Chains A and B, each alone.
Chain A
Amino acid sequence: MKTASLDLLIERAGAGSRAAMGALYDATAPAMYAMALAILKDKSAAETALIDAYGQIWKAAPTYVKSDSPAATWIAMAVREVVLAHARRDGGRAALEPAIAPGEVNKTSNAQSIYRAGEEERLAAALSALDDASRASIRRAFFEGAPYGVLAQHLSSPLGGVKSRIRRGLLVMRDRMEGTGAADTEKQAAQ
């Protein structure tokens, strides 16, 4: 399923099409289920979170504005927020073990990705500007969705070190993204 049709599916779902909602689920659920599993580490909890998340997507679909964020990003943002909220509600239970073995985090082929190439490239460019330790910490933080304290345990690193690596990394990413963001705005203005 290509991203162009994800836009259309969200719009149709927003207009009340159950078939479009079903197709949207089929196209995105495997990626979203993987993310929910990585953070919640429990199949049943991940399934419950996904039902909640797609329920919110169904409700929010009429308000979807294509220009604000690309479809796949919009869906991933919505699902991740619900999954993180579920993780926090579960308390520390989900945080007991590391989310995923580091080997499982890999760069999937573009054929499997629901994102537009540009979105991933922009992020990859920003991440590539980081030192290895900051990049690894930020990626790990994203996949675990766990608070600093838990993250430090999993990384077997002092809390202060983990915090400063992530904060330093975020600052470098922001500077890098601001550059490309300005270029995007210029491009849009030229169109």
Chain B
Amino acid sequence: MSVASEDIDVIYAGEVALGVLDADECARAGARMKDDAAFAAMVSEWRRTLAPLSAAISPVAPPPALKKRLAHALFAGEERRCRHDLHRSRGLWRTMAVTAAALAIVAIAALYYVVIS
């Protein structure tokens, strides 16, 4: 089979997307994708093209615990940050409440003073 050099690239890109290259060859292809945008685009196009093949496998429900593990992996760091924010806002509310109470006392004192005099 004689193949044009452009076709060789298309086939090679398809092999990358299919995952049929061994680890060394795959690493070489990965390096080329970094330098050669046209080749990288060909690989992406093949990945896009082939992805719907996955639909031919019957879905399998993952174990329910996996979603919890995922949530922990994704959000655990953010959870801490949010709690921290909550602390800060709690502090703010406390400051505002104390300030309001102090103002009320001053206002009552002033009113009392006005009424007395």
Residues of chain A touching chain B, judged by Cβ–Cβ distance below 8 Å, are 18, 21-22, 25-26, 29-35, 37-38, 43, 46-47, 50-51, 54-55, 58, 69, 72-73, 76-77, 80-81, 84, 87-88, 100, 104-108, 112-115, 119-120, 122-123, 126, 138-139, 141-143, 145-149, 151, 164, 166-168, 170-171, 173-174, 177
Query: Are the C-beta atoms of B60 and A33 separated by less than 8 Å?
Result: yes
On whether the beta carbons of A81 and B47 are closer than 8 Å, the reply is yes
Given contact pairs A47-B66, A106-B56, A146-B20, a sample of 16 additional A-B residue pairs in the complex whose CB atoms are under 8 Å apart: A18-B74, A18-B75, A31-B55, A34-B60, A73-B48, A84-B19, A88-B26, A104-B57, A119-B51, A120-B55, A138-B18, A142-B53, A146-B19, A148-B22, A151-B20, A166-B18
Cross-chain contact B56 with A107 (CB below 8 angstroms):
yes
Q: Taking chain A's interface residues, is the majority helix, strand, or loop, or is none over half, making it mixed?
A: helix
Establish whether residues A142 and B50, one from each chain, have CB atoms under 8 Å apart when the complex forms.
yes
Point out residues on B near A: beta carbons under 8 Å. Answer: 1, 3, 7, 10-11, 14-15, 18-23, 26, 46-63, 66-67, 69-71, 73-75
Closest to A47 in B: B66
Q: Check B67–A22 contact: CB distance below 8 A.
A: yes
A88 to B3, CA, bound (A): 29
CA distance A73 to B10 in the complex (A): 20
- Give Cα A38 to B22, complex, Å: 18
User: Does B49 contact A123, Cβ atoms closer than 8 Å?
Assistant: yes
- Tell me the nearest residue of chain A to B67, going by C-beta: A25
Is B75 within 8 A of A142, CB to CB? no
Q: Whole-angstrom distance from the CB of B53 to the nearest CB of chain A?
A: 5
Instruction: Determine the chain B residues whose CB is within 8 A of the CB of A149 once the complex forms.
Output: 22
Asked if residues A58 and B74 are in contact (CB atoms below 8 Å), the reply is yes
A105 → chain B closest CB, angstroms? 6
| Other-chain residue from A81, A147, A171 in contact with B10 (beta carbon distance below 8 A) | A171
Bound Cα distance A138, B57 (Å): 15
Closest chain B residue to A88, Cβ basis:
B23
Q: How far is the CB of A45 from chain B (nearest CB, A)?
A: 13
A126 touches B49 (CB 8 A): yes
State in angstroms the CA–CA spacing of A31 and B61 once bound together. 8
Task: Specify the chain B residue showing the minimal Cβ separation from A143.
Answer: B57
Q: Which residues of B contact A123 (CB under 8 A)?
A: 49-50, 52-53
Q: By the criterion CB–CB under 8 Å, are A54 and B50 in contact?
A: no
- A170 in contact with B10 given A18-B75, A141-B18, A148-B22 (CB within 8 Å): yes
Q: How far is the CB of A159 from chain B (nearest CB, A)?
A: 11
User: Residue among B14, B56, B66 with the most chain A CB within 10 A?
Assistant: B56
Cα separation A24 to B73 with both chains bound (whole Å): 16
A167 and B12 alpha carbons, distance in the complex (Å)? 8
